[in-house]
Amino acid sequence: MTHLLDMHAWVQRALGEPLPPLVEGTLADHADSLAIADVSLWEAAKLVELGRLERSVPLAEFFRLAITPELAVQPITPAIAERVAELEGSGFHKDPADQLIVATGLVHKLRLISDDSRVHQRGKVRLLWRTSQG
């Protein structure tokens, strides 16, 4: 496993929506070494609940299709929880889902695929989106 998709990148990919060319190339090259943080499942469900994520199938079917065998779902561990506490103390923004995603990337030494400017501004984790940062 080498790359961690944030919730938006994972959902975009699952829905077949195009990602930036650099990201598409990376995903193609590392299709068997991708992961998401388990909190991304909750985030997607909340977006469905709030009417901000539309899909053509029920949520359970979406999850079945979007969580492919080569995609690892990383659970929250004590090490990740500890890293979240360190992020909070360092001025990282207060979104708990983003904190868990970034902490997951840091603990597992994964490159995060994210277009979230709040995550990019902090420079805590190696990132990839429109540029080859990190």
Profile the chain (134 residues) by mean pLDDT over runs of 10 residues. Answer: 90 91 87 94 95 91 93 97 84 84 92 78 57 42
Whether domain 3-128 has CATH 3.90.1150.10? no
pTM: 0.86
Give the residue carrying structure tokens 């360092």.
Answer: 90
Identify the DSSP state of 111.
E
- 19 three-state secondary structure: coil
Measured at the CA of 42, the angle between CA 81 and CA 66, to 5 degrees, comes to 115
Instruction: Report d(CA 129, CA 113) in Å as an integer.
Output: 6
pLDDT for the residue numbered 128: 64
User: Taking the domains of the chain in order of start, what are their residue ranges?
Assistant: 3-128
pLDDT for the residue numbered 11: 94
pLDDT for the residue numbered 27: 86
Parallel/antiparallel/unpaired status of strands 127-128 and 34-37: unpaired
